[in-house]
A and B are shown apart, each in its own frame.
Chain A
Amino acid sequence: MALQPFLALGAVLFGIGLYGALTKRNLIIVLISIEMMLNAANINLVAFAHFLPKPNIEGQVYALFNIAIAAAEVAVGLAILLSFFRARNTSDVRDMNAMKW
């Protein structure tokens, strides 16, 4: 195997996630799409760690940190969603305008 197929897969997965995050109007689906984009970044990190001239473990370490931060982001995002849903009874991103200037 070469490096390019993995980078191509990461690019395609990033595109799918970007399209979902830009067009969907449900907050949970937008969060899921962001997770898919983070996964695409992780694929690139691990692929570069594997295919460098001198294979290096640090890409995998960065991927692990990335996963931890993504988990924290999902926890806080879903907590905000639940609180918002309790107050407004909707999970549409267009209704999240309470702090809009």
Chain B
Amino acid sequence: MLFGLPITGATITYFVLALIIIVSGVFMLTLTNVMHMAVSLVGVFLGVAGIFILLGADFVGLVQVMVYAGAITILMVFALMLTHRGLNGHLQGEVGPFRGTLTFLSVAIIVGTLLYAIRSTPWPGSTTALQPFHQSTVNLIANAIFHQYTVAFELVSAVLTVALVGAAVIARKEE
């Protein structure tokens, strides 16, 4: 037994992925070198993709790898390179020790309350199957998106177009 969970392959995978996510997240906040921050960001996003696949959401996991670990990280690295005059730039900006401690305590109280609530709530019965859906998740997601959420899907595509054009217009150098 490991923290009250039976030791199975899924449990071990979960703990390894959780360790990767949390360690990468803490590194992201404590490192000062810009490039190291970007690399630890990849750790967080890949770990979350692994959690998705562990939960039977293989399509969402692959989308997470493509969009987050691929596109968004590269975008962040580009922005860091464009605004820091080379990769040796160190980020010094943080709030002072008093406000830092106060923020840390508040966040710790919020997270502690959440964890206590999660622990003390009786959740509905858990499944042991790694893949609870009886057909491919891609089929199910496609059915849901194109039958039930068609309007939302079209709205998202409109939002993406507007965001792309807007980003190009905002970032353009003014004549």
B5 in contact with A23 (CB, 8 Å)? no
Q: Cβ of A39 and Cβ of B41 under 8 Å apart?
A: no
Residues of A within 8 A of B (CB-CB), count: 70
Separation of A43 and B173 alpha carbons in the complex (Å): 38
* Interchain Cβ contacts under 8 Å between A and B, 24 examples: A6-B14, A9-B22, A11-B118, A14-B111, A15-B110, A19-B104, A24-B93, A28-B76, A33-B29, A39-B68, A46-B55, A50-B127, A51-B126, A55-B127, A57-B137, A57-B141, A58-B144, A61-B149, A69-B156, A71-B67, A73-B163, A82-B170, A83-B170, A93-B93
For B108, what are the chain A residues with a Cβ–Cβ distance below 8 Å?
15
**Does the CB pair B83–A18 fall under 8 Å?**
no
A80 with B99, Cβ < 8 A, contacts A2-B126, A19-B107 known: no
* Contact between chains at B123 and A63 (CB < 8 Å): no
Taking a contact as CB atoms under 8 Å apart, the answer to whether A82 and B94 are in contact is no
Given contacts A35-B72, A60-B137, A61-B144, contact A3 B126 (CB under 8 A): yes
Given A15-B107, A55-B133, A82-B79, the answer on whether A50 and B140 have CB atoms closer than 8 Å is no
Cross-chain contact of A19 among B71, B103, B149 (Cβ < 8 A): B103
Chain A contacts of B91 at CB under 8 A? Answer: 24, 26, 29
Chain B: interface secondary structure? helix
Quick one: CB contact mask for B66-82 with A, threshold 8 Å, 1 for yes? 01100110011011101
In the complex, chain A residues whose CB is within 8 Å of the CB of B51: 6, 9, 43, 46
A1 within 8 A of B: yes
Bound-state Cα–Cα, A43 to B64, Å: 11
Which B residues touch A85, using CB under 8 A?
82-83
- The yes or no answer to B87 lying at the interface (CB within 8 A) is no
Which residues does chain A contribute within 8 Å of B137, judged by CB atoms?
57, 60
A57 to chain B, nearest CB (A): 4
Instruction: For the complex formed, measure the closest distance between the CB of B117 and the CB atoms of chain A, giving whole angstroms.
Output: 9
Q: Are A74 and B75 in contact, CB atoms less than 8 angstroms apart?
A: yes
Q: How far is the CA of A20 from the CA of B111 in the complex (A)?
A: 14
Partner among B28, B111, B167 whose Cβ is within 8 Å of the Cβ of A11:
B111
Which 8 A/B pairs are nearest by Cβ-Cβ distance? Answer: A25-B93, A72-B163, A15-B111, A79-B167, A55-B132, A79-B171, A16-B25, A11-B114
